[in-house]
Amino acid sequence: MSAPSSPETPAATSLVVGGRYELVELIGSGAMGSVFAAQDLVDERLVALKRLHAQRADDNTARTRFESEARTLRQLSHPGLPQVYDVGEDFDGVSVQPYLAMRLVTGETLADKLSERGPLPTHEVAALVAMLASALSAVHIAGVVHRDIKPANIVVSESGQPVLVDFGIATADDVEPLTSTGEVLGTMEYISPEQVSGRRATAASDVYSLGVVAFQCLTSVKPFQRESAVASALAHLHDPPPDLPRSVDKPLADLVQGMLAKDPDDRPLAADVARGLDRVLARSRS
């Protein structure tokens, strides 16, 4: 993959970060920072290096979110979550930029996979969502809520293991959200009804978002996407999810519909989703 020309390409930024990580290739870039493939010159391995944009270095909110992501990931261990190797700061001669070195997951995002293939086979969806639900359960047991579950934040490795990435707006139970009251964080097509209402996101909110992802994987349809963000928000609040195709086995369809319940108290726990999907997969193999 060739890195696009941008201020954050290796040619335009410090080639060695923290005296240790030699930037190789730009993987992706967003509003907060960029992710590079980098060579760890000490441990002699390729890593994913996430680095806050230089223009955000003096933005206290951006720095706090970045540091929160680092703390969140360091306390988690699961095959479906990024493994953090190192956290540090780098001075490029102008500003101090925090960075995060993680296990490099080679593969494609679920968003790209859906764009290329359309609806996925039901057994593949069940397996993917089961692994994601297991990862989410580990996140929730640690007292963390991701708050932005969507296909673009899921990388499917070459072995088929989905990895949940981008914990930039995640919060722990004992940490106040980095927003003013009523501000909504997340992606509108996947956000839960309670987040639309301005209430705090919980583990049940992540389950809802994963349910939207599961529905999209089965149908290529985002069930609550409408002509505008406001209309999509109202759909999350008031519209029932569409019926899944009859080709989807009833136990799987019922589980996805349960994940999309409007009332967070009516949704299953992530661990229950994983167990339920494991049973669906076991029945399909028998």
CB-CB contact of 147 with 186 (8 Å): yes
Residues 6+ apart with CB under 8 A from 123: 281, 284
Task: From 231, 243, 132, select the one nearest 189 (Cα to Cα).
Answer: 231
Is 112 designated active site? no
Residue with tokens 């540090």: 88
CB-CB contact of 239 with 226 (8 Å): no
Task: From 280, 277, 257, select the one nearest 267 (Cα to Cα).
Answer: 257
Give me the amino acid identity at 7.
P
* Region of residue 18 (phi > 0: left; psi between -120 and 50: alpha; otherwise: beta): left
Give dist(CA 256, CA 278) in Å, integer. Answer: 14
Give dist(CA 204, CA 262) in Å, integer. Answer: 10
Query: Known binder of ligand: residue 150?
Result: no
Give me the amino acid identity at 104.
L
CB-CB contact of 10 with 36 (8 Å): yes
Q: Which residues of 240-275 are buried (b: 16+ CB within 10 A; e: fewer)?
A: ebeebeeebbeebbebbebbbbbebeebbbbbbbbb
CB-CB contact of 51 with 27 (8 Å): no
Write down the catalytic residue from 90, 148, 166, 206: 148
Give dist(CA 180, CA 199) in Å, integer. Answer: 12
Residue with tokens 């009859």: 246
Q: Which residues are catalytic?
A: 148
Q: What residue numbers does the annotated binding site for ATP cover?
A: 50
